[in-house]
Amino acid sequence: MSRLVLPERVRLRYRKVGRVRFTSQRDLARVMERAMRRCGLPLAHSSGFSPRPLLSFGLALPTGCASLAEYLDLRLDPDRESDAVEVVGHDAADPADLAHLCRRLSEALPDGVDVTAAAALFGPEPSLQEAVASCDWELEVLGVSPAVMTGRVERTLGAETVEVARERKGRAVVDDIRPAILALSVVDRPPHELEGHGEVVSLAASLATRPRGVRPAELLGALGDDVRLLAACRTHQWMDHDERSARTEPLTEDGTVWGGPPARTEVRGG
């Protein structure tokens, strides 16, 4: 295999579908690390007592949910170059090699995990955790008919507050998730019966990530105790840019990464 010429900082976009979606975010992080080592990627490591590879994942994907739009930022170490990879500045990186990287990683990853885009990072891009403001979901649920579900969706959207019980730092709390439900609708699909389970209803939801993310299971809880989740797929993660009221993906499938406003001043810790 030819040696890849890669930039020091890379953002990856990947899918997680099929059986492998039953692995946890933590499991997938380890799977990624091993796949990267198998590909000879010279990952930079944290310093200190117990060095860890510098990988930063975006919003955790709940175990069991599929996704078409997951992201991961990684940092390569020019001092650890291998036979497989040469590390250069972002402007000297070869775009074709980023495409090769996607292919090599996808081959090294389990079935169902595919790296669909890679791009060099170079500016003061905000971290994935900070940047993503909302996620789009497709949900398949069981337990009620499409007509009943349509009524419940309307009631939920019309409600002032939608309360869910959560546990935070070991204490039971009640949160209002209504502000985080940006959109919710029943998707018009031909009727589909799952043997032994009844009719499947498809929902489309757009859920905000702040102040706290809403998990698909919590949304369903709000739609009724008799609603059971069959499948969930995150289709998009969106970054909001207030100034332009535009939204973009952290990295599109065609490899475009939004660089952030050029002179943004980051204010941290108040």
Partner 1 sequence: MSSVWDRVEPLLWHVEKPARYIGGELGCCVDDKGPDAVRWLLCYPDTYEIGLPNQGLQILYSILNERDDAAAERAYAPWCDLEALLRERGIPLFSVESARPAAEFDVVAFNLSAELTYTNVLNMLDLGAIPLRTEDRTGDPVVIAGGHCTYNPEPLAEFLDAAVLGDGEEVVGELNDALVAWRATPRSRRDRRALHLALAAIEGVYVPSLYAPRYRDGRLVGYDPADGAPATVEKRTVADLAAWPYPREQLVPLTEVVHDRLNVEVFRGCTRGCRFCQAGMITRPVRERPRDQVLELVRDGIARTGYDEVALTSLSTADFSGIESVVGALTERGAAGHDVAVSLPSLRVDAFTVGTAAAIQQVRRTGLTFAPEGGTWRMRRVINKLISDDDLFAAVEAAFSQGWRRVKLYFLIGLPTETDEDVVAIAELAARCVALGRRHHPSASVTASVGGFVPKPHTPFQWHAMDSVAELRRKVGILRDAARRVRGLEVRWHDPAASVAEGVVSRGDRRVGRVIERVWRDGGTFQEWSERFSLERWEAALAAEGLDLEVTALRSRDRDETLPWGHLSAGLHPDFLWGDYESSLAAEGLEDCRWTPCYDCGACTTYGIEHVVASPTPPAGGSQGTGQGLDLTGADAPTLVALSATRR
Footprint on this chain of partner 1 (rule: CB under 8 A): 19-20, 22-24, 26-27, 30-31, 33-38, 40, 42, 49-51, 63-64, 80, 82-83, 108, 110-112, 142, 194, 196-197, 228-230
Q: Which CB sits closer to partner 1, 50 or 265?
A: 50
Residue closer to partner 1 by CB (options 9, 16) is 16
- Closer to partner 1 by Cβ: residue 40 or 126: 40
CA distance 138 to 221: 16
SS3 readout for the chain: CCCEEEECEEEEEEEECHHHHHCCHHHHHHHHHHHHHHCCCCECECCCCCCCECEEECCCCCCCCEEEEEEEEEEECHHHCCCCEEEECHHHCCHHHHHHHHHHHHHHCCCCEEEEEEEECCCCCCCHHHHEEEEEEEEEEECCCHHHHHHHHHHHHHCCCCEEEEEECCEEEEEECHHHEEEEEECCCCCCEECCCEECEEEEEEEECCCCCCCHHHHHHHHCCCCEEEEEEEEEEEEEEHHHCEEECCECCCCCECCCCCCCCCCCCC
Residue 37 or residue 90: which is nearer to partner 1 going by CB?
A: 37
> Using CA atoms, how far apart are residues 155 and 247, in angstroms rounded to an integer?
28
Give me the least distance between CB of 106 and partner 1, in Å please: 14
Nearest residue (CB) to partner 1, 138 versus 240: 138
> Nearer to partner 1 by C-beta: 67 or 134?
67
Q: How far is the CB of 229 from partner 1 (least distance, A)?
A: 6
Residue nearer to partner 1 on the CB measure, 90 or 228:
228
Least distance (Å) between residue 120 CB and partner 1: 23
- Distance in Å, CB of 267 to partner 1, minimum: 36
- Give least dist CB 122 to partner 1, A: 26
Least distance to partner 1 from the beta carbon of 153, Å? 21
Q: Which is nearer to partner 1, 93 or 229 (CB)?
A: 229
* Cα dihedral 91, 96, 97, 102 in deg (nearest 10): 120
Distance CA 249, CA 70 (A): 10
CB of 208 to partner 1, least distance (A): 24
User: In whole angstroms, what is the distance from residue 142 CA to residue 126 CA?
Assistant: 38
The minimum distance between CB 96 and partner 1, in angstroms, equals 24
